[in-house]
Structure 1
């Protein structure tokens, strides 16, 4: 199933987004609802809270007095830690039950207020952040929920910052304006990204992008970091390292809007072992690519085709195309991928020369709608240059003392 993490600051409007997604067919697992269930009267959760914070948090009717608990639990980091140590295991167990009960091939949306704070973002195929600036959230909490302003500000201060949320956000939904505008944006997100992503994930379909250049985007490294964090969770200790490579890793270089990443493994068998986990995580394997083109020999180099073997996966998310190259540590393709990136970062002339080459290659492929034919035309211009660049990059490495 496609797993979407939904979060945002208190008062941002996550419940509004959840309601729209439910109408569109998503299965919602609401952490706030579960958090209320695990502290209902008679539950072990409520008893544990009373023991930790005192009987004053119990209302006369036996239910949890939430404002009283909030005043104590959000007073300092230690108290908040005590609250989390009680609630998180209970919420986690109930959440796992809800996930297991969801139908196969669902779009499962987990509404989790503290998703960012808990470091959970890499566990999801997509993270959606609902944003409203802090002052507007204070106003909404005071006017709509009757929350004292001091409590509203304390809760906001205890949560992640906007910058921390942006770092994990695949989708940033601004809910500052008219609710009707948000409705349209969420429905468009579903139609153009979430639903196609689910279908691609279910069918093992990779997103491929024609070789058309986009202006250099400073967000490419940020997006690469998010993908690397997901891959690190999927790979565990089977990955020796994961690097952002290719043109999107070179600041200021126009490129195809595709993030290239490299997973380095100890031997090629590990790459095959990773295939199922990567596919489940939203990165299906491209079965027709099993090696790089061997480059002409260089001093100490190797042209044996067997050591140019690799595996490649690509992303199923139509909103963030990605190529994932899996290569063996120390093999020439693995080394050159990192070297080429670093050479272009360091050598202005080489970077400018490569940028001009990419323009010519993209022009050569322009107007060809078939992906494979367009890539053949694009590579026909680039490949001869790379044979010489392979030597030039290693010469730079020898002179500069470069190490991977």
Structure 2
């Protein structure tokens, strides 16, 4: 089962995105709808709301008077938090029930307006955010909800802004055009990413990387992408999991294959093997085969490790699982920090990458061509470590 979070600010057209995903067969769990259901007439949720805020939040028919309740909590942080303590646990419980009742091969989309504010992104395999230009949002809120510009701006300002959402979301859906244009984006996303993601997740396989070599220009979003992946891994394994962003995408201004390299440190390879089911469930299945690091002059020619990939075809990942203190663990951290700190070394590596890319079109041949450079880098990085007193991050 693939769990997808869907969010976006008020007036962006998030419901239209959810409807189109539902059209393709996704199971939609609408947090707003559940929030209404758990305080419907006759529920324990409504009784608790009345106890907290008084009978003035009821209509003559005994239903919740939402405008009256809104007037009590909007702009009052204490009141808002009190209401959330009543509603949110009930919504979470219903969400769990609905998720567990979905088919095992379902794509479950949780439509959660305050997903970012609630710190929920790491709990999903993928997070989508819908964005719309502010002027369009104001027009829609006036047309559909009768809000004045001031009212709409106040509601927009009370939520996370676009930059905050983008920082923790994987896919941005722009809803500034026609319905047909929006549907085109959703259809492509569903077909090319969500469906194969779910299939790889269910079968415990990584999305194929392919053999063709392509070196990308430095991408300033790589560290943010790595941070989202690390947050998911820590959600799956525990907040104290030692996960680092390594490799070329971790070095600013360095061209690289568009593959995010991460490293999980473990005490033993038996511990690494025990983590396989949890990593696979989080979307990082183990790659079959025997994997080892070049010891780079340390005792033993190679040092074994485990390697995991990503079930998401939209974000290639190598998750190296290495024993703390092993040659590969140390070299990954040292090389990253050395290249970050020494511009000349970084520029030399970038030039070498450009040369190897011309000489080799296959990424495996490219990888072999880098080995002599890595040997020289290991020696230079060791000298730098001794000069600066560098030690591996703990």
Task: Tell me if both proteins adopt one fold, taking TM over 0.5 as the criterion.
Answer: yes
| 1:205 correspondence with 2:202 | no
2: CA distance, partners of 1:59 / 1:135: 34
Partner of 1:332: 327
User: 1:340 Cα deviation (Å)?
Assistant: 0.2
Three-state SS of the structure 1 residue aligned to 2:17 is helix
User: Is this contact kept in 2: 1:211–1:362, CA < 8 A?
Assistant: yes
Instruction: Give runs of aligned pairs for residues 66-215 of structure 1, distance below 5 A.
Output: 66-147=66-147, 149-207=149-207, 208-209=209-210, 210-215=212-217
2: CA distance, partners of 1:237 / 1:253: 29
- Root-mean-square deviation (CA, aligned residues, Å) is 1.6
Indicate which of 289, 300, 303 corresponds to 1:303: 300
Partner of 1:253: 254
Instruction: Give runs of aligned pairs for residues 238-387 of structure 1, distance below 5 A.
Output: 239=241, 241-297=242-298, 302-303=299-300, 305=302, 308-366=303-361, 374-387=362-375
Partner of 1:230: 232
TM-score scaled by structure 1? 0.93
1: CA distance, partners of 2:135 / 2:312: 34
User: 1:155 Cα deviation (Å)?
Assistant: 2.8
Q: Deviations over 1:167-197 (max 9, x none)?
A: 1111001112222211111111111111121
TM-score scaled by structure 2? 0.95
Partner of 2:36: 36
Three-state SS of the structure 1 residue aligned to 2:294 is coil
- Larger mean CA deviation between 37-46 and 70-79 belongs to 70-79
User: Is this contact kept in 2: 1:2–1:105, CA < 8 A?
Assistant: yes
Q: Deviations over 1:213-235 (max 9, x none)?
A: 00000000111111110111111
Three-state SS of the structure 2 residue aligned to 1:316 is coil
Question: Number of aligned pairs?
Answer: 390
1: CA distance, partners of 2:355 / 2:33: 56
- 1:175 to 1:116, Cα distance in 2 relative to 1, 3 A: same
Moved runs in structure 1, 4+ residues, more than 4 A? 148-151
User: Is this contact kept in 1: 2:331–2:378, CA < 8 A?
Assistant: yes
Partner of 1:21: 21
2: CA distance, partners of 1:237 / 1:150: 41
- 1:17 to 1:237, Cα distance in 2 relative to 1, 3 A: closer
Q: Deviations over 1:335-381 (max 9, x none)?
A: 11011001111112211111122123222331xxxxxxx33311221
User: Is this contact kept in 1: 2:294–2:301, CA < 8 A?
Assistant: no
User: 1:383 Cα deviation (Å)?
Assistant: 0.8
Indicate which of 213, 216, 219 corresponds to 2:218: 216
Partner of 2:377: 389
User: Is this contact kept in 2: 1:128–1:173, CA < 8 A?
Assistant: yes
1: CA distance, partners of 2:27 / 2:136: 29
User: 1:316 Cα deviation (Å)?
Assistant: 1.3
Three-state SS of the structure 2 residue aligned to 1:40 is coil
2: CA distance, partners of 1:237 / 1:220: 22
1: CA distance, partners of 2:229 / 2:27: 24
2: CA distance, partners of 1:332 / 1:42: 64
2: CA distance, partners of 1:169 / 1:291: 33
List gaps (5 residues or longer) in structure 1. Answer: 367-373
User: Is this contact kept in 2: 1:261–1:325, CA < 8 A?
Assistant: yes
User: Is this contact kept in 1: 2:234–2:240, CA < 8 A?
Assistant: no
User: 1:151 Cα deviation (Å)?
Assistant: 4.3
1: CA distance, partners of 2:283 / 2:140: 37
